[in-house]
Structure 1
Amino acid sequence: MYKRTVLIVEDELLIRIVLADTLADEGYDVIEAGNVLEAVAVLGRRKVDAVITDVDMPGGLSGLDLARMISSSDMKVPVIITSGGSIVRPEELPSDTVFMPKPYGMNVISAMVREMTAAETRKMAS
């Protein structure tokens, strides 16, 4: 059986660990990245079914930059953008991207991932 893969792009280690553990417990294969460049490297070599990224990231590229890169590619991967300090307006979001302000509940983020990956499965089946 195919195991859905979620890429978590988060520079705050504790948040990344808790989110990764939560999604792994939900049955996802989880890949972690501490910045956008690490995430781009992962996306270049692995099929990913969903991405969760923080807006403010080290290294000069933001999570919003990552979402735009994904949206402009042929990957068609849904993205959840999170932030505790930035507000991203709906018109700033690329397609297949949603914004979730921090702090968020782990049950809320897992439900969003479940919904997004289920929607992708329906798209592939039709």
Structure 2
Amino acid sequence: MTEAARLDGYGKRVLVVEAHAPVRDLLLSALMRNGYNAYEATDRFEALATMGRRRYDAVLADCCFSQPGDVIFIRICRQRWPERPMIVLASEAHGPADVVAGLYACLPKPFDLYQVLCLVRQATHGEPAPARDTGVELAGIS
């Protein structure tokens, strides 16, 4: 990895919301290796509290669309911080269309780490959200 690639995230703050320590550690490590200031939250309550105290350039969150609390978490984030790009790592392909539409990106689990890093880079550098698949995969109704 070149020095430029490592510093791609220099000065950018990314909040990782993930309950499972091994996955959280993998994401934090990859972000830090690429120059991001990576912060962690182990659950949605901790995430909301820290998002209220600090500005993040992007939020990377594990969510389960079948869990009402996770859907509410996304809706609260979009309402309070609509300018903050949110990338969701989803355990299900289907989610409420209004929730998915408000996200910068939604990746199914298991995810490709390189793809996650590319999306974080795009989000933190102000690039437009990637085009969405309008099929059932991302815009399913629940």
TM-score for both structures, normalised by structure 2: 0.72
The Cα of 1:17 is off from its aligned counterpart by 0.2
The Cα of 1:50 is off from its aligned counterpart by 0.4
Identical aligned residues as a percent: 28
Residues 64, 91 of structure 2: 8 Å contact kept: no
What's 1:108 paired with? 115
Q: Deviations over 1:20-68 (max 9, x none)?
A: 00001111001101100000111011110100111139xx721x32221
What's 1:4 paired with? 12
Residues 80, 97 of structure 1: 8 Å contact kept: yes
Q: 1:42 to 1:75 in 2, by over 3 A?
A: farther
> In the TM superposition, what are the counterparts of 1:35-54 in structure 2 within 5 Å?
35-54=43-62
Q: CA RMSD in A?
A: 2.4
Deviation beyond 6 Å, 4+ runs, structure 1? none
Gaps of 5+ in 2: 1-9, 128-142
Gaps of 5+ in 1: 121-126
Higher-Rg member (1/2): 2
The total of aligned residue pairs comes to 117
Distance in 2 separating the partners of 1:19 and 1:40:
19
Residue identity in the other structure for 1:51: V
Q: 1:91 to 1:73 in 2, by over 3 A?
A: closer
